[in-house]
């Protein structure tokens, strides 16, 4: 009987810790990327919610890929939704972070060159 009470009390303790953590934990504002995988030269949009007027320095870009800002941040609607548009300029992974805790990932892959089609067609580069 003592073991059952000990197990029930420990489960109650664990459940209360997770309950308090979920209530006190700061929720991340929703962020969204139009496409999680893009090719070099293509554009993608990054949308996020912000109460005030965000500055472009509020969005941190990190990773091995490179992007350039095309437009934004532009307010969409009345619910504090903001959209920025980027163009991918070099392959790699890019992490977009807003307010130092809300993040989205974009993978940039290289664009195939037209020569690769002809190389495969005529079997260039293969050892005999």
- Tens of pLDDT, residue by residue over 48-76, are 877 777 766 678 888 888 899 898 788 88
**CA separation, residue 109 to residues 54, 91, 114 (Å):** 29, 5, 16
- Tokens 């130092």, residue located: 100
Q: What is the pLDDT of residue 2?
A: 76
Q: What is the pLDDT of residue 87?
A: 93
Domains (ranges, CATH) in the chain?
31-110 (2.60.40)
Contact predicate 6/56, CB 8 Å: no
Interatomic CA distance for residues 61 and 101, integer angstroms: 13
- Tokens 């934990």, residue located: 25
pLDDT for 32 beyond 80: no
Interatomic CA distance for residues 11 and 116, integer angstroms: 61
Interatomic CA distance for residues 26 and 101, integer angstroms: 10
Strand partners, 11: none
Binned at pLDDT 50, 70 and 90, residue 119 comes out as confident
Q: What is the pLDDT of residue 34?
A: 80
* pLDDT single digits (tens) 78-98: 777 888 899 999 999 998 887
């Amino acid at each position: 009987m003592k073991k059952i009470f000990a197990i029930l009390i420990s489960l109650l303790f664990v459940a209360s810790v997770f309950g308090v953590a979920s209530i006190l934990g700061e929720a991340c504002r929703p962020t969204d990327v139009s496409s999680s995988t893009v090719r070099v030269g293509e554009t993608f949009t990054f949308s996020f919610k912000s109460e005030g007027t965000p500055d472009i320095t509020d969005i941190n870009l990190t990773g091995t890929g490179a992007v350039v800002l095309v437009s934004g941040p532009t307010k969409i609607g009345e619910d504090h939704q903001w959209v920025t548009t980027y163009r991918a300029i070099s392959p790699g992974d890019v992490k977009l972070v807003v307010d130092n805790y809300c993040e989205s990932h974009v993978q940039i892959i290289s664009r195939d060159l037209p020569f690769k089609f002809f190389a495969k067609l005529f079997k260039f580069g293969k050892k005999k």
